[in-house]
A and B are shown apart, each in its own frame.
Chain A
Amino acid sequence: MRGATPGQLAVGLLIAAFLLAFLAVPIATVIYVAFTEPGGGFTLSHFESFFHLALMRESFWNSLYVAAASVVFATLIAVPLAYFTVRFRFRGALIIQTLGVLPLIMPPFVGAVAMQLIFGRSGSVNLLLGDWFGISLPIMQGLNGVIFVEALHYFPFILMNLVVAMGNIDASMEESAQNLGASGWRLFRRIVFPLAMPGYVAGASLVFVKVFDDLGTPLVLNVTNMLAPQAYLRITSMGIEDPIGYVISVLMIGFSLFALWASALALRGRDYATLQRGGSSLAARALKPWQAALAYGWIGLVLLLVLSPHLGILLLSLGTVWSFSVVPDGFTLQHYATVFQDSPRMIGNTLLYCGLAALIDVVLATAIAYLILRTRLPLRRTLDFTASAALAIPGVVLAIGYLRTFRGVEIPFSGELVTASWLLIVIAYSIRRLPYALRSCMAALQQLHVSLEEAAESLGAGKRRTIRRIVVPLMMGGILAGFVTSFMTAAVELSATIMLTTSQNLAPMSYGIYLYMQSAAGRGPGAALGVLAVAIVALGTYLSHRFMRSRAVDLDRQL
């Protein structure tokens, strides 16, 4: 196996062309415009203008503040939960695992509307608090609301990474510390947490990036003095020529890259590998009664908070009128009827766009994984790097890049504009979700021993046949997992969607929810559409777990 075959080269070139056209060039265009005079020539004056504008400075700090505060709150929620699962023997572990999935199936901007009705100025909680104690908590006001919603939505990233990291800690480390007299808080602070640091940093940086990029939540909560909403408003209302939008885009890319780089650095900087592996992981202890009460209390509280957007959106979708009251005045199924009557198209569009995008993703991801792990194609690492770089590109920025790059370009033979076509939405989804699919396909292929392929080849199968009959079927679990992840996350994407959707007929559900929420009578149907979106994503999550599990069982049986 030396060099690359022409076939591999061709596939590699095709993938490279796709990534170049729909990722590298649009992003380069955005960066180019941000640094160029209208007539041409390098300039920093757009950045100067940006920092001249008080609103922009404010948005800049607000975005940083909200992202950082969301990380802090997410940490406060996640760390105790992670510690409980790993440390103690108790029945709450299953609930915590469920907790790790529940928020993620609901897009934060959908939950935000419901949170307003529950925790807002005249929401259920504040009405009750007002009645009982005469106080009102400004939980949902301004930036607080964004932080609250985002922290509740994204804390599972920290939780899941932390549980894995803590699970990998060698018990002997802890025992040594205990022998030396450390216990309780000190043990946790000096030994357990530092050892779990890589997992925490990975989770926290992901939360930071996600919150920094999120457009839907601030928009729905009426907060626009943050960078993502400003980029969106600048480009849509001032026009595609406005340089400030591009400056914001460059800053957003910069911060995403910085957060991801910082997390990589944190992981590399110190050697966390414990010397001796194969020992047991942290000993699970039984809880003392008061500890159990505390743990269950915390879990119960978090569960209640985590479920509140779900509950709220369900109530909203079933309620008649919900205004200045703890719960809606009455209940009806009318909103669901309205959705099925008015907008079955949106559901169809979501299935179509996300299905196609996920298909593109798994095809690309399988090909890239194969090229990287099984061939010697030159520059194959670059392919991997470029595809993964999409993780650092906010949806708004990608959409701005598309609108600018493909401005006025027509689709051959149809005369339709590329920027007015739904294909662009599909491509945006597939580019943004490619890193997820790539990870799961890489993992699947890594687990596949190369001897299986060699066996097939020694029995006379050609490369192509081997791939078709051996590699792909055996990777199927990972491919399907990648498909489902791409599909689900794309189904609730709003940042790129809101900029690339031109007309109602082409709108997917996520845009539809936003659109419905723009009128008094549309609130119920919007919520109903939200519930349907959550149901689709939840079904997808369940199926992906099923696929993974049944696939693992199959493999065991075969080998």
Chain B
Amino acid sequence: MTLKTFVRWSAAAALAVAFGAAQAQQVLTVVTSFPKDLTEVFKRAFETRNPGVRVEVMNRGTSSGVAYVREAAASNKPDIFWASAPDAFEVLAKENLLQKFDGRNPAVPAKIGAYPINDPEGLYYGQALAGYGLMWNTRYMRANKLPEPREWADLVKPAYHGHVAISSPSRSGTTHLTVETILQGEGWTKGWSQMLQISGNCAAITERSFGVPEGVNNGQYGIGLVIDFFGLSAKASGFPVEFHYPSVTAIVPANIGLVANARNPELGKRFIAFTLSQEGQELLLDPKISRLPVLPAVYAKAPKDFPNPYDGKIKAKVNFDSDVSEARYYLVSAIFDQAITFRHKELAAASKAIHNAAARLAAKPNAQGQKLLAEARELAFSPVVGEDKAKDKAFLALFRDTKRTAEKTKQVTGLEGYWNGVALKNYTRAAELANQAAAMAR
């Protein structure tokens, strides 16, 4: 091959592909946190129904999606934002990044439990429902002789130590919702205590929300705290897993909204209408997707055993308050990261020592030992930030500013560093105390 033919061929190939890309006329841009399995189905269905339209999907994590919409140039905003976490939409709405329009499907009920499915102001619409729950690998459970958990509280039991996995709320909007659900369901202090105990039993705090179901699917972990469709779709794809909603759960909508200054607002509205229509809702039942439709009529076509949030069988005790969640969004993430994610090794060690001491003391009771153990628990399982502080508006404002001066950055990082240090000290001390307590049982 001479240079000439070589250059000619590669140039021809390059041009062919480039022109192929430029042919479709109308482009709809969708920013979403959903996996390719879901977006591909909707993209193809919408493109077949609207010839000449190309759907461009931008897969981003929830928070990086929000950052993307915020930072995109005014002339170049994407058209649709589509994600699970309601808080992300609150953030977008507050920053005037969403566009109001009437795109409601009247057949969709106004509320699920006490939670409005559509934004009352018409800035975004509930497109699917999601609850949070427990997913486990049946082979793993059998091999390790673990009982099936039913409630979050079950996961604090010693038997589950080293078998659980959860993601970090700062990395995943869905985990943030799970954590926030527990905090709202149990209250700040008790909620954090439970969260810390569960985390102490975790084998890993994964870095992506999908890291949890992935690990459960392939048997790295026994039990994962996940959003329902992760469990349902894995089960439908043939993995040996089960999914269960605990009673402290909230069913909340996954939303879709039109971005302000969208390049193609009309097309965007058409896409939203499609996702809310009977046809679009039925696509959610695809086994690879397995999400709960907002349109009650669609459940008639659902496979057997498919959960139906409208039939009252899922006991969602928590009425999720997204205002509360939004106000302390960053704070919760930051506390979780500093006290759990980055100190997980120490937390797990403390937790193991506590389980060990409790078992010994149960066999040979010792009052002094019990006292030490209680102290260890208190140290290990109390949040680094108290409830009153978490309600302090000025304190919360510090974390909510997106544009920070160097001074503020330093203040926030200083606080985070402090929490991390406190957590480290507490866990180490708790492990020591628990070990002392265990020694007393001899």
Contact = CB atoms under 8 A, between A and B. Distances in A.
Nearest to B233: A520
Nearest to A525: B36
B211 interface: yes
B405 interface: yes
Interface in A170-225: 219, 222-225
Contacts of A417: 72-73, 76
A520 B293 CA distance: 20
A236 B64 contact: yes
Interface string B209-230: 0110110011111000000001
Interface in A42-82: 43, 45-46, 48-49, 52-55, 58
Interface residues of B, number: 81
Interface string B261-276: 0000000000000000
A122 B60 CA distance: 30
A237 B61 contact: yes
Nearest to A366: B3
A519 B210 contact: yes
A349 B14 CA distance: 9
Nearest to B33: A518
B363 interface: no
Nearest to A409: B73
Which of A53, A122, A123, A323 counts the most chain B CB atoms within 10 A?
Answer: A323
B36 A522 contact: yes
Given A237-B61, A239-B402, A417-B76, A52 B56 contact: no
B140 A222 contact: no
Interface stretch (A11-19, A352-360, A376-384, A392-400): A352-360
Contacts of B420: 54-55
Contact of A521 (B11, B139, B237, B342): B237
Contacts of B37: 519, 521-522
Contacts of A408: 73
A352 B218 contact: no
Given A55-B337, A222-B208, A122 B140 contact: yes
Given A239-B67, A352-B18, A55 B210 contact: no
Contact of A479 (B3, B287, B407): B3
Given A52-B410, A505-B54, A516 B36 contact: yes
A503 B337 contact: no
Interface string A389-419: 0000000000000000001101000011100
B66 to A, nearest CB: 8
B403 A38 contact: yes
Contact of A52 (B14, B239, B414): B414
A520 B72 CA distance: 31
Contact of A323 (B56, B171, B206, B219): B219
Contacts of B171: 224, 233, 237
Interface in B43-78: 54, 56-61, 63-64, 67, 70-73, 75-76
Contacts of A238: 67
B203 interface: yes
A364 to B, nearest CB: 14
B26 interface: no
A222 B206 contact: yes
Contact of B220 (A54, A121, A522): A121
Contact of A415 (B75, B140, B170): B75
Contacts of A504: 36, 39, 56-59
A320 interface: yes
Q: Is chain B's binding surface mostly helix, strand, loop or mixed?
A: helix
B207 A224 contact: yes
Contacts, number: 201
Given A54-B416, A239-B70, A503-B29, A120 B218 contact: yes
Nearest to A316: B218
Given A37-B406, A45-B410, A359-B10, A502 B218 contact: no
A39 B139 CA distance: 57
A231 to B, nearest CB: 13
Contacts of B54: 505
Contacts of B71: 239-240, 407
Contacts of B238: 320-321
B252 interface: no
Contacts of A356: 10, 14
Nearest to A330: B238
A348 B17 contact: yes
Given A43-B406, A222-B211, A473-B2, A323 B240 contact: yes
B394 interface: no
Contacts of A407: 71
A210 B11 CA distance: 32
Contacts of A480: 6
Nearest to B167: A222
B300 interface: no
Interface string A113-144: 00011001111000000000000000001000
Interface of A: 37-39, 43, 45-46, 48-49, 52-55, 58, 116-117, 120-123, 141, 219, 222-225, 229, 233, 236-241, 243-244, 320-325, 342, 348-349, 351-352, 355-356, 359, 407-408, 410, 415-417, 420, 472-473, 476, 479-480, 502-506, 515-523
24 contacts: A37-B405, A38-B403, A43-B406, A46-B406, A49-B409, A53-B416, A54-B342, A55-B342, A55-B420, A121-B220, A236-B60, A236-B67, A243-B406, A243-B409, A321-B239, A323-B139, A351-B13, A352-B17, A356-B10, A359-B14, A417-B73, A503-B57, A504-B58, A519-B35
Interface of B: 2-3, 6-7, 10-11, 13-14, 17-18, 20-21, 29, 35-37, 39-40, 54, 56-61, 63-64, 67, 70-73, 75-76, 137, 139-140, 143, 170-171, 203-204, 206-208, 210-211, 213-214, 217-221, 230, 233-234, 237-241, 287-288, 337-338, 342, 402-407, 409-410, 413-414, 416-417, 420-421
